[in-house]
Amino acid sequence: MRLKDEHPELFGQLHPTRNVGVDLDATSNSSHEMLWWRCPVGHEWRETPLQRRSHARWKKGDLYACLYCVAPGAVVHSCGHRRLRPSETTFRVLAHPCDKCEVTEHTRLILDALDGSAAAAVRLLDDSPHYALFCSTAADTVEWWDELFPLVEAYFVRMVSVYVAIATVEHRPTLSSPTSSLLGACMLRILEALPPGCREEMHAAVPDDAGHFRDKYLPGHHTGEIGWALKKLGFDIFDTPLDGDIERRVQFCERQRFTATGELPPVDLAGRHYPAFTHLPRRDREAGAVSELRRFRPKQPASRITAIRVPLGESASAAPGDPLGRHMSVTPRSSRRGSCGSGDAACGSSVPITSLPPRSS
């Protein structure tokens, strides 16, 4: 239902000039969009239509009450969000946004710095003994590790880039979490996606102080609401499709044992929030792995040589100029053995072919 039709009096309090770019006539009465309002007295503030028509206690029964007029114990932030403090008798307007809006804006700056932090994240991985041990253990344990490695590395870079971006925005000299704890959290996330048979041996390569990623949680020492804000802005902390990515890649590698189609695996990283490697010199590892998979074909069977056996009768001799260079070695009749008697020509035993010349190279 449109606000204009449901609450015409409330619709009349929408600010006539400050809601630029908003189609007020089409605004729903349940909209969550922050709009500017102006009460009959002249107070101006921001609030959503859903908040404006709610039956809040401070309105004292007046659905269209102005917060400035009837709620003295309230704090209104510049973002439009408010906090009610019944114990206070003053009405305060603060120039700064509320805590949640500040964290959201802070997180937006972190996401803006994310793409530029991929190179630093790769350098951190290259210098980490924990990451080297994890990859070397996986190379000895996990089948198709060479084909899975681009996905695994992309996930590591993705999460490490968040911490590098946090340090950049907050002007920290180091990451906000120990490297071992951060990389350990990534390792545990990778183990959940790998086949169960190799997890136990891979656990030996995970640091003891490994953290844990949750749906709205980043391990480490930083503002706890950053994880919530990242989730709100569309950056999934708990990367649920990761196990599906690895499973589809493994299935593709398995299919290549039996088919020569050579089609690419159905793993699309475009919407996975993985940092692009194209701007990293000599580090376009995902593109390199894809090109290798594109050239992947089953092994061609070795060429086979067909042998022909030609039996010769006892009285037959090799023709002059035999193409195989054979000649007959005639054995005296008295010295031959056979089940047909001593040297009976009707026996039809084949005459041995001897003295084949060596094959020329």
In degrees and rounded to multiples of 5, residue 45 shows phi and psi of -160, 170
Instruction: Concatenate the DSSP letters of all residues of 186-205 into one string.
Output: HHHHHHHHS-GGGHHHHGGG
Q: What element of type H or E holds 159?
A: helix 145-169
CA atoms within 13 A on the CB side of 206: 20
Helix (H, G, I), strand (E, B) or coil at 44: strand
Query: Can you tell me the distance from the alpha carbon of 358 to that of 356, in angstroms, rounded to the nearest whole number?
Result: 6
pTM beyond 0.95: the answer is no
With DSSP H G I counted as helix, E B as strand and the rest as coil, what are the percentages for the chain, rounded to 5?
40, 5, 50
Query: Helices 179-193 and 129-141 meet at what angle, rounded to 10?
Result: 20
pLDDT by residue (tens digit) across 258-283?
655 656 555 666 666 666 655 444 44
Q: What element of type H or E holds 287?
A: helix 285-294
Which residue in 57, 23, 22, 16 sits closest to 37, CA to CA?
A: 16
One digit per residue, the tens of pLDDT, for the chain of length 361 reads 888 888 888 888 898 888 888 888 888 888 888 888 888 888 887 888 888 888 877 777 888 888 778 777 778 787 767 777 767 777 777 778 888 888 888 888 988 888 788 888 888 888 899 999 999 999 999 988 888 888 888 889 888 989 999 999 989 888 888 999 999 999 999 999 888 888 888 998 999 999 988 877 888 777 778 888 888 888 888 877 788 888 888 877 777 666 556 565 556 666 666 666 554 444 454 454 444 434 434 444 455 555 566 565 555 566 677 666 666 555 544 444 444 444 444 444 444 444 445 555 4
